[in-house]
Structure 1
């Protein structure tokens, strides 16, 4: 194992100490992008127009209407449900809250139903409205539960909830919209750097081949699997450090909020890094020269992040491109973050997390198979 540790140290030294400027740039550039985005990117402070169709006409639906009306930057338009689509078409509203008959009864039966938030796919304002309403709806459901199904007790509790200091604190939807967009730009760039940096570190193997260092492995106690595994672990350590630096910088050195807990964000990005490192190893396994691996990885990684919606929302893609984009690990990473912004929990996106981990495992397994065949051929020739 001493040889294995020595290989890890050597990989870290080559990746960091031999290219300190490159390592520093790859670490701080996403942070610089975040700072620039938070300072320069801004959105109009005009009102977000929300249509409300209340078909329940209950104390609970009235409370939800008050909650939405209490948001800063919101202009409410009351309408019937059959008028919602026409108002979207005329651009009178940007989002709509439809409350159907039976909403309050559902809360009394410990269920959140008969409420729908609608919006234009080109604008994600409605997703922020969903995120804000989620906690309030959970609180209303809890009130229905503790009221024991008694409508009078429930309505009195709802009145007290609306009058509470928790509700009085206003939330600016414009500020939240700006922060989420700025932070998503930052995350998109960070994912881009994760893929490109992982491929660059993995390409050290091809560089060693060209310098005949790779061949010397067979004359030392080191095994080929040790060499490859040390490169993968070194890659993960460096990328994890850069992700941690970026996430902590966003949390403590800027006023930008992504609406996701730092630990959860780190986990999603680290799972993305697992896929990126596996892909970097795959690029190396199918090439023999550093330039060839670099050219293939640059093209493939750029395609992955574009299809992943890192810079353009996937909702804007044509249907065929949208369908193809599901093969991009970046799409699942960005999708997980957007889901969390809308109020979903870590448990709700567990499927995405397992999928990213599965992608990494499959790609790495394919790389191992290709590499094993190559090494057998190399040994027979040597």
Structure 2
């Protein structure tokens, strides 16, 4: 145990002697948070600005204007006819509703008309306003028909309608898509950085074989198993620190709701860290030099992260590519997190964890086999 601790201290000392490595290992994971804010930071709700030109000024028209003013996320501005074109073309208003003379009479007689909706932003804007306005006018038309065109009777019925015992209550649901998207993109970027970090630490093995440090260490009571175990432990501790730092910044500094508890998110990512270490050791075992090891890491890490959906949802990719993603451990990590965000219990996702552990075991077994077959000292002379 003392030898393993000494080796770990040595690896820490060599790695973090350079300050740029501290920034790379613990600063780069935070870049994903800033990227998420750039992508999703300005995607909040907006206020719809509606201009009203009321030429009628009768009770039904005035009540219609009042109804529009009471709609949430709609700001009503009273206009003159001459101001319509200027307000629309300058983008100050999204649409303008004009109530012509005779509007109230048309509603009272059950033949709605004398109303115009103008917008240069298309049906996306007018459709939203019409969905509220036309439903309200339909109710008034029913009252007008029941009153048979009599204004006094209509006013009585309308007052009863407004003061009805039954009430429609509306509850606003919090939009969680934005925070979930930010969390998933941040975690996707962290997964990629963890993979590169694991690759860099595993590459130390082959670098020390090239400079003969590895073989000098083996001439001491230290054996190859202790050396590799120390490398794995350093790798794991650095990645766990990356996970904790990133999650703390996400939750405590930026106050992003991950919709998953801190410990559950950390547990999933720690399981993935075993996969990352196993994959990096496997790639190093196939390399004959540090340069080839670095090339293998880049060749495998970046494309697999792209295909697994670390930077965009897998659903937007073609079906054939989605099937390929099933063979990526990054995909299973992200899928596990998404299922936890949907409210599934941690224990019910045992299959996902078994698949991740299977990836890790397979990578470690391949690495052990290759290392045992590639022990020729002359390969690094």
Seen in structure 2, the aligned counterparts of structure 1 residues 234 and 169 have a Cα distance that, compared at 3 Å, is: farther
Which residue is equivalent to 1:188? Answer: 188
Output the aligned Cα RMSD: 2.9
Tell me the distance in 2 between the aligned counterparts of 1:338 and 1:373. 40
Seen in structure 2, the aligned counterparts of structure 1 residues 369 and 204 have a Cα distance that, compared at 3 Å, is: same
Seen in structure 2, the aligned counterparts of structure 1 residues 46 and 11 have a Cα distance that, compared at 3 Å, is: same
TM-score by length of 2: 0.64
Q: In the TM superposition, what is the alpha-carbon distance from 1:288 to its structure 2 partner? A: 2.3
1:262 matched to 2:262? The reply is yes
1:38 matched to 2:37? The reply is yes
TM-score by length of 1: 0.64
Which residue is equivalent to 1:29? Answer: 28
Q: In the TM superposition, what is the alpha-carbon distance from 1:314 to its structure 2 partner? A: 1.1
Tell me the distance in 1 between the aligned counterparts of 2:194 and 2:379. 36
Q: In the TM superposition, what is the alpha-carbon distance from 1:220 to its structure 2 partner? A: 1.3
Q: In the TM superposition, what is the alpha-carbon distance from 1:265 to its structure 2 partner? A: 0.6
Which residue is equivalent to 2:173? Answer: 171
Number of residue pairs the alignment of both structures matches: 266
Q: In the TM superposition, what is the alpha-carbon distance from 1:340 to its structure 2 partner? A: 1.2
CA contact (8 A) 2:180 2:259 kept: yes
Which residue is equivalent to 2:233? Answer: 233
Seen in structure 2, the aligned counterparts of structure 1 residues 379 and 211 have a Cα distance that, compared at 3 Å, is: closer
Tell me the distance in 2 between the aligned counterparts of 1:349 and 1:284. 31
Q: In the TM superposition, what is the alpha-carbon distance from 1:330 to its structure 2 partner? A: 0.4
Structure 2: gaps spanning 5 or more residues: 48-71, 74-123, 129-168
1:123-134 → structure 2 map (5 Å cutoff): none
Partner SS for 1:45: coil
Tell me the distance in 1 between the aligned counterparts of 2:320 and 2:32. 31
Residue deviations 1:209-242, cap 9 Å, x none? 2211122133211101111111111100111111
Tell me the distance in 2 between the aligned counterparts of 1:268 and 1:381. 38
Residue deviations 1:315-368, cap 9 Å, x none? 122222111111100000110111111111111222111211121111111101
CA contact (8 A) 1:38 1:179 kept: no
Tell me the distance in 2 between the aligned counterparts of 1:285 and 1:23. 26
CA contact (8 A) 2:308 2:331 kept: yes
Tell me the distance in 1 between the aligned counterparts of 2:292 and 2:22. 22
Tell me the distance in 2 between the aligned counterparts of 1:169 and 1:278. 49
Seen in structure 2, the aligned counterparts of structure 1 residues 36 and 373 have a Cα distance that, compared at 3 Å, is: closer
Q: In the TM superposition, what is the alpha-carbon distance from 1:45 to its structure 2 partner? A: 2.2
CA contact (8 A) 1:235 1:277 kept: yes
Tell me the distance in 2 between the aligned counterparts of 1:263 and 1:46. 35
1:198-237 → structure 2 map (5 Å cutoff): 198-237=198-237
Structure 1: gaps spanning 5 or more residues: 48-71, 74-90, 94-166
Which residue is equivalent to 2:340? Answer: 340
Which residue is equivalent to 1:101? Answer: none
Q: In the TM superposition, what is the alpha-carbon distance from 1:27 to its structure 2 partner? A: 1.0
Q: In the TM superposition, what is the alpha-carbon distance from 1:197 to its structure 2 partner? A: 0.8
Tell me the distance in 2 between the aligned counterparts of 1:182 and 1:270. 20
Which residue is equivalent to 1:303? Answer: 303
Seen in structure 2, the aligned counterparts of structure 1 residues 210 and 337 have a Cα distance that, compared at 3 Å, is: same
Tell me the distance in 2 between the aligned counterparts of 1:380 and 1:183. 45
CA contact (8 A) 1:35 1:254 kept: no
Q: In the TM superposition, what is the alpha-carbon distance from 1:35 to its structure 2 partner? A: 3.8
CA contact (8 A) 2:179 2:256 kept: yes
CA contact (8 A) 2:195 2:276 kept: yes
Which residue is equivalent to 1:322? Answer: 322
